Structure 1
Amino acid sequence: MTITTFINLPVRDLASAAEFFRSIGFAGAQPSPDRTSLMLNLNDTTQLILHIDSAFAEYTQVAITDTEASREVIVGLAAGSRERVDELVDRAVAAGGNAVGPGQDVGGLYMRGFRDLDGHQWSFVHQAG
């Protein structure tokens, strides 16, 4: 069974957020009919849906998390090698994101994190086989 993942996030500026994620390898930018959201593809089974803050709040019916004060989720994505982890995080930082400390190697799992333009925390990981 194939399961598709949809990551939904609120953003302050839809165009800037889309450009940020395209710069680290997400493809496309299908806008919703009302242009308050857009979908980017990471691969065939993982999509990122960005929503302007007001649309996300209306959809969820709760306040948006203040990413300066708390974390609701850390999005982790697998990469094919340690070098690819570093490359992707370096691209995110070059596009305006913020690195979250140095890379960590824990029991054969290498991980590096960053925060996107809206403060959402991401990590790329590689598990040595």
Structure 2
Amino acid sequence: MAFKPGMTFINLSVSDLKKSMNFFNEMGFSFNMQFTDENAACMVINDNTFAMLLTEAHFKNFTNKEIANAATHTEVLVSFAVESREQVDAILKKAIESGGSPATDLKDLGFMYQAGFQDLDGHIWEVFYMDMEAQQ
């Protein structure tokens, strides 16, 4: 029997929840307010994928390990696909205009076009367009 998760929650520690929410609002993401309070915000990525932005104090409730400083260490790369190369460029531009910074150089592999940005806490988000016909 294959295992297929119904929903995915990406949990990220943030230093200032309100600033992080504003950043992602400016990027065009929405939040499920039913699961948002002063300690956590549930950012909707799509119908089955969410990013839980957690204050550092609240994040510590879920781990016995030290929390990585995403500004100096990479703890995760969050990647999502979009519908076109133009969307990749537009999202990268919006991230930088909203206070983020580039994380990687733009990569054009022919079948895949990708860019990365860092959010306000240094978490790396990769945006890519994949042309499945060109990949074959």
TM-score normalised to structure 2 length:
0.86
Counterpart of 1:103? 106
Q: Percent identity?
A: 33
* 1:78 counterpart residue number: 81
Query: 1:1-129 residue pairs with structure 2 within 5 A?
Result: 3-30=6-33, 32=35, 35-129=38-132
Aligned alpha-carbon RMSD (Å): 1.8
Contact persistence 1:10–1:53 (CA under 8 A)? yes
- Cα deviation for residue 107 of structure 1 reads 4.2
Which structure carries more strand by proportion? Answer: 1
Aligned residues: 129
TM-score by length of 1: 0.90
Unmatched tracts of structure 2, length 5 or more: none
Letter in 2 for 1:117: L
- C-alpha displacement of 1:61: 2.0
Report the CA distance shift for 1:34/1:92 in structure 2 as closer, same or farther (over 3 A): closer
Larger deviation, residues 40-49 vs 22-31 = 22-31
Partner-residue secondary structure (3-state), 1:114? strand
Runs (5+) with no aligned partner, structure 1: none
